[in-house]
Structure 1
Amino acid sequence: MKRTVGKWISVVLASTMLFVAAACGNNGESAAGENSGNAAVNRADAPGPVKLRILWWGSQARHDATLKALDLYTEKNPGVTFETEFSGWDGYWDKLATQSAAQNAPDIIQMDASYLAEYAGRNQLADLSSGIATDDIDPGLLDTGKFKGKQYAIPLGNNAIGLAYNKQAVKQLGLTMPQNGWTWEQYFAFGQEAKAKLGDGKYALPDFSSAFAQYVNYQLSKGKGQVLSVDGDINLDKETFLEWQNQFAELRKAGVVPPADVSVTDKELDPQADLMVNGTVLTRVVHAAQSTAVDSLNPGAFDFVTMPRGAEAGGWLKPSMFWSVSASSKQVEASKKFIDWFINDPEAAEILGTSRGVPVSGQIVEKLTPKLSEADKMGINLITNTAPDAQTYVPEPQGWTNFVQKDYKAVGEKIMFGSITPEQAYEEIMKLAEEYSL
């Protein structure tokens, strides 16, 4: 039996107690929602009231905007109410894995490109090829929600990967502001210069030693191609990997990046634990879709810049996220009707803004642009500056999610804590990869 199957089962078993405990508590509700005790009745395919369970992750700003949009939908469709479940990224996928394995997934699921192949490949998502108006979505963007030719996910926003930095702190330190199009050499030099002016307990850059996506950006920028292909072949270039890991080993020694015990405490967009937000580091990886969330943590303090480049660009464009519908849902058609409204209705767009990235409808973007905030424009600028030579985003192929999300991270953290060398880490990663090969 393949390692991935065993790991999937382990995730489900490990998550069950957490999920059961969570189920005993109160889920969020839209204004017209009811207690979840009648969910089975309300979700049946029958005339009359319909309750849709809906699950998403994100910041408080996204939660608030989504709840307002759900209330508006109920106002316009009095027979439809929502049972809402939302959280941060941490724990989201373990919870969904447990629900899906038990055939108890929510009707509408916020889906990420990294997990789409896993869920669609296990026949856990409904086909959304019809019933949703998608003519105003760029065909290439729409295609990112397909798996083996079928539409299992509807994009909710355009997105780009880049770096956020604390522009207020950079200015106070008398440093040159990061520039779009900068190179990795310039990025590391910025870190060295900043560290020379920072006090004890303060660092310039985050440690990317255990970050798979950031290593992918680096390997792409060096012209060495994707680490994982769509078909599940691995191309981890040894020379480039060792160069990357040795660079961060030097940065740790110099105090440019935090020590390992500090780095592992980082929690993205957490007001207290995000290392950039709490002032421990000056920069962090960011997605354009997070612009309002980042700004809300310290309004006006941050700005975005493109990922560093080498011979090629280091950043990519991708859908910010999707809506998918559970294959076990009893309300597939009602769910599709909601998704159609969510991406195409002007009133919904006014409420949602860019909380899930730049809207996918061209008409919606045209209407919203004059009303966008400076934070919204910060995200749009990152997309605009990344787009001209952006790399093609390749999501994790089916069967590789645990390798990307857990195994690579675990090996990287061993390097950070000094328990293995980069050379040993490379061999361990390649050995693990053999067990995931299709």
Structure 2
Amino acid sequence: MASLRRRRATAAVGLALSATTALTACGQGENPANSGGDAGGGDSEGGQVQLRFVWWGGTLRNEMTQEVIEVFEAKNPDIDILPQPGSWDGYWDKLATEVASGTAPDIIQMPDSYFNEYVGRGALLDLTDLALDHSNVPDAIWNTGVINDRLWGVPSGVNTHAIVANPAMFDAAGVEMPDDTTWTWDEYADIATELSESLSDDQVGSGTPGLDQNNLATWLRQNGAELFTEEGELGFDTADATGYFAFIKDLADRGAIPGAETISAEIGLGLEQSGMATGRHAMGFWASNQLAALSEAAGTELELLRLPTSNGNAEDGAFAISGGWYVAYEGTEHPEEVARFLDFMVNSQEVWNTILTERGAPPNTEIRQNLIDGGHLGDADARSIEFLNDLETVALEEPPAVPPVGAGAFQDILRRYTVQLLFERMTPEEAAEGLVSEANSAIE
């Protein structure tokens, strides 16, 4: 595993956020040698139970996952895992077709933006009564996989949202790093403006908070609202969204964030091409587990800061999120063997010694601490876990509601109205009205 960890140190991997963080990655195409035509994996000629496992991701994730599969198979010689790595593009079209035809894989990597939808379709296996140990997983994280009092997925990792800052750019601008235990959104705006005024013409103080729905979710929570309700409706109104868009417009008017054309062109870029990785942004909005990949790409040590708040209380509005789930297809013929693999992915130290924080921090807090104590992590990865641990008491109390069916479109809707706002084609009020109307239509 040491060789893989060395590759980990030299490969930067970006997971872009979606309404959990939804998560995208530049992955490889499906492995045609492992494509199956039957529901689940069936049985091999040697009597082994075969389980098909599909996930999306890039080369590094694929290598790590394959190594984990080999360890599992060595410990469970009666099970043969058939890996099916894929890329985000086309992942959902293919899965929807397989579910409709009854040929879906046994085990599926699932983000929050589609989780509720597949539960509602009756496509996922109820895991409630299967042998899955969560004694070292905080209830608030484990219960992110619970809908209607039934367990439908186990967490593949855990993150929190943060600002990543470049101390070298702060030093170059002569600006002090903020006290992230007390700073407010107004102070963030002032600091981002001062940075932009002091840095070179191609650099700005911050990336925009308007492209990631998790930033909106935090803003709303700090102001008494939510992104979605437990009943599957929008948890905010036009007035809430107007305040958020007005704040973003003020940042743009002050030159604190990139211009509209730059932001429009940068949407969808991979982590290595981002403004944070290329030294164009002194601050940016990211998931905590992306610190190591961003630092590697930027070639300098970056730092995590807590998100600003409306009242100066750094704990207000903070929450941890599941980095996604491992779920099982309802039509699998081998639920007990599936559960054995899912339990292994959550609770095996060997798994996390290999994948480290690539899918987020371990949900199992004992494993999380062992990674730090055992020296398995580089400095940035260790700091990302310690950052999460520092917020854990508050962050894990109230996880957001699982996004409703149709919420997978919300991120794109938010980005579109943010761009329209920044091009001054809409006022904050008009952008808010459009966002609420279109989001309501999507989830209805």
Percent identical across equivalent pairs?
23
| Corresponding residue for residue 196 of structure 2 | 195
| Amino acid aligned to 2:378 | S
Contact 1:45 1:330 in 2 (8 A): no
| Corresponding residue for residue 17 of structure 1 | none
Q: Which moved more, 1:421-430 or 1:86-95?
A: 86-95
Q: Which moved more, 1:124-133 or 1:282-291?
A: 282-291
Q: Secondary structure at the match of 2:265?
A: coil
| Corresponding residue for residue 120 of structure 2 | 121
Equivalent runs, 1:17-28 vs 2, <5 Å: 27-28=30-31
Contact 2:29 2:87 in 1 (8 A): no
Equivalent runs, 1:358-397 vs 2, <5 Å: 358-370=361-373, 371=375, 372-390=377-395, 392-397=398-403
For 1:123 and 1:396, locate their aligned partners in 2 and report how far apart those are by CA, in whole Å.
Answer: 16
Deviation, structure 1 residue 350: 2.0
Deviation, structure 1 residue 156: 2.9
For 2:103 and 2:296, locate their aligned partners in 1 and report how far apart those are by CA, in whole Å.
Answer: 34
Matched, 1:232 2:232: yes
Deviation, structure 1 residue 309: 0.8
**Structure 1: tracts of 5 or more residues without a match:** 1-21, 29-33
Q: Secondary structure at the match of 2:210?
A: coil
Q: Secondary structure at the match of 1:163?
A: strand
Contact 1:224 1:237 in 2 (8 A): no
Q: Secondary structure at the match of 2:125?
A: coil
Deviation, structure 1 residue 115: 2.7
Q: Secondary structure at the match of 1:144?
A: helix
Deviation, structure 1 residue 187: 0.9
Paired residue total: 409
The counterpart of 1:345, out of the listed 348, 364, 367, is 348
Deviation, structure 1 residue 144: 1.3
Q: Which moved more, 1:123-132 or 1:378-387?
A: 378-387
Q: Which moved more, 1:155-164 or 1:265-274?
A: 265-274
For 1:328 and 1:134, locate their aligned partners in 2 and report how far apart those are by CA, in whole Å.
Answer: 24
For 1:42 and 1:246, locate their aligned partners in 2 and report how far apart those are by CA, in whole Å.
Answer: 49
For 1:179 and 1:208, locate their aligned partners in 2 and report how far apart those are by CA, in whole Å.
Answer: 19
Contact 1:162 1:315 in 2 (8 A): no
1:412 and 1:42, CA in 2 relative to 1: closer, same or farther beyond 3 A? closer
| Corresponding residue for residue 153 of structure 1 | 153
1:52 and 1:274, CA in 2 relative to 1: closer, same or farther beyond 3 A? farther
The C-alpha deviation readout for 1:60-80, integer Å capped at 9, x for no partner, is: 544332222122223333454
Q: Secondary structure at the match of 2:99?
A: helix
Contact 2:40 2:105 in 1 (8 A): no
Deviation, structure 1 residue 304: 0.8
The C-alpha deviation readout for 1:313-363, integer Å capped at 9, x for no partner, is: 243112232211122334433222111122222322322223322322243
1:285 and 1:355, CA in 2 relative to 1: closer, same or farther beyond 3 A? same
1:70 and 1:268, CA in 2 relative to 1: closer, same or farther beyond 3 A? farther
Matched, 1:183 2:184: yes
Question: TM-score by structure 1 length?
Answer: 0.82
Q: Which moved more, 1:241-250 or 1:179-188?
A: 241-250
The C-alpha deviation readout for 1:63-101, integer Å capped at 9, x for no partner, is: 332222122223333454444344565665455444434
Deviation, structure 1 residue 59: 5.6
Contact 1:27 1:84 in 2 (8 A): no
For 2:206 and 2:441, locate their aligned partners in 1 and report how far apart those are by CA, in whole Å.
Answer: 33
Matched, 1:323 2:326: yes
| Corresponding residue for residue 418 of structure 1 | 424
For 1:142 and 1:310, locate their aligned partners in 2 and report how far apart those are by CA, in whole Å.
Answer: 29
Contact 1:292 1:355 in 2 (8 A): no
Equivalent runs, 1:25-424 vs 2, <5 Å: 27-28=30-31, 35-36=33-34, 40=38, 43-45=41-43, 48-58=47-57, 60-86=59-85, 92-129=91-128, 130-181=130-181, 182-221=183-222, 223-266=223-266, 270-298=270-298, 300-311=300-311, 313-370=316-373, 371=375, 372-390=377-395, 392-424=398-430
Q: Secondary structure at the match of 1:71?
A: helix
| Amino acid aligned to 1:368 | L
| Amino acid aligned to 1:290 | Q
The C-alpha deviation readout for 1:348-395, integer Å capped at 9, x for no partner, is: 232222332232224323432212321222212321333344372324
Contact 1:271 1:278 in 2 (8 A): no
The CA RMSD measured in Å over matched residues stands at: 3.0
1:104 and 1:350, CA in 2 relative to 1: closer, same or farther beyond 3 A? same
Contact 1:209 1:415 in 2 (8 A): no
1:95 and 1:257, CA in 2 relative to 1: closer, same or farther beyond 3 A? farther
The C-alpha deviation readout for 1:367-426, integer Å capped at 9, x for no partner, is: 322123212222123213333443723244422414523333333332222222222222
1:138 and 1:219, CA in 2 relative to 1: closer, same or farther beyond 3 A? closer
**Structure 2: tracts of 5 or more residues without a match:** 1-26
Contact 1:109 1:324 in 2 (8 A): yes
Deviation, structure 1 residue 145: 0.7
Q: Which moved more, 1:362-371 or 1:39-48?
A: 39-48
Q: Secondary structure at the match of 2:141?
A: helix
Contact 2:137 2:364 in 1 (8 A): yes
